[in-house]
Amino acid sequence: MKDFKFELAGLLSSKIDSLSQDDIYKMIEVPANSSMGDYAFPCFKLAKELRKAPPIIAKELAENLNKADWVSNIENINAYVNFFIDKSLLVKEILDEVLAKGDKYGMAETLEKGNVVIDYSSPNIAKPFHVGHLRSTVIGHSLYRIFEALGYHCIGVNHLGDWGTQFGKLIVAYKKYSSKEEVEQKGISELLRIYVLFHDEAKEHPEMDQEARDYFTKMEKGDEEALALWKWFKEVSLNEFQRVYDMLGVTFDSYNGEAFYNDKMEAAIKELEDKGLIEISEGAKIVRLDDENMAPCLITKNDGSSLYATRDITAAKYRKETYDFKKCIYVTALQQNLHFAQWFKVIEKMSYDWAGDLVHVPFGMVSMEGGKLSTRSGNVIFLEDILKEAVDKTRSIIEEKNPQLPNKEDVAQKVGIGAVIFDDMYNNIIKDIQFSWERVLNFDGETGPYVQYTHARACSVLKKAGLDLDAIPRFEIDYSVISDDATVGITKELADFNSVIKAAAENYEPSYIARYAVDLAQAFNKFYHDNPILVDEKKLKESRLSVVAATKYTLKNALYLLGIDAPIQM
HEC letters along 162-189: CCCHHHHHHHHHHHHHCCHHHHHHHCHH
For the cut 70, the answer to whether the pLDDT of residue 498 exceeds it is yes
What value does the mean pLDDT of the chain take? 92
Share of the chain above pLDDT 90, in %: 81
- More reliable by pLDDT, 118 or 443: 118
User: What gap in Å lies between CA 308 and CA 265, rounded to an integer?
Assistant: 11
Going by C-alpha positions, the residue among 109, 89, 91, 112 that lies closest to residue 101 is 109
| pLDDT on residue 305 | 79
Say yes or no to pLDDT of 495 above 80: yes
pLDDT tens per residue across span 407-436: 999 999 999 999 999 999 998 999 988 877
Rounded to the nearest 5°, which phi and psi values hold at 362? -85, 150
What is the CA angle 318-323-327, rounded to 5? 95
Q: Parallel, antiparallel, or unpaired for β 297-300 and 284-287? A: antiparallel
* Higher-pLDDT residue of 1, 454: 454
For residue 296, the 8-state DSSP code is P
pLDDT at 559 over 50: yes
Predicted confidence band of residue 220 (pLDDT cuts 50, 70, 90) = confident
- Nearest-angstrom CA–CA distance, 511 and 164: 34
Q: Which amino acid is at 109?
A: E
Residue 105: C-alpha distances to residues 290, 535, 552 (Å) = 49, 28, 11
Q: Are 326 and 356 in contact (CB under 8 A)?
A: no
Provide the pLDDT for residue 377: 45
Identify the pLDDT of residue 399: 94
Q: What pLDDT was estimated at residue 375?
A: 45
Q: Is the pLDDT of residue 181 over 60?
A: yes
How many Å separate Cα 570 from the centre of its chain? 25
Domain with CATH 3.30.1360.70 in the chain: 4-85
**Average pLDDT over every residue of 358-365:** 95
Residue 462 has pLDDT above 80, yes or no: yes
Least confident of 128-137, 316-325, 388-397, 504-513: 128-137
pLDDT category of residue 165 using cuts at 50, 70 and 90: confident
Q: Which fold has domain 4-85?
A: Gyrase A; domain 2 (3.30.1360)
Where b means 16+ CB within 10 Å and e means fewer, 1-36 reads: beebbebbbebbbeebeebebeebbebbeeeeeeeb
What is the 3-state secondary structure of 358-370? EEEEEECCEEECC
pLDDT at 380: 65
Average pLDDT (300-308) is 85
Alpha-carbon gap, residue 544 to 487, rounded angstroms: 9
Rounded distance, CA 314 to CA 434, Å? 35
Active site residues: 127, 130, 133
pLDDT of 480 strictly over 60: yes
Q: pLDDT digits over 367-384, tens only?
A: 766 544 444 444 567 888
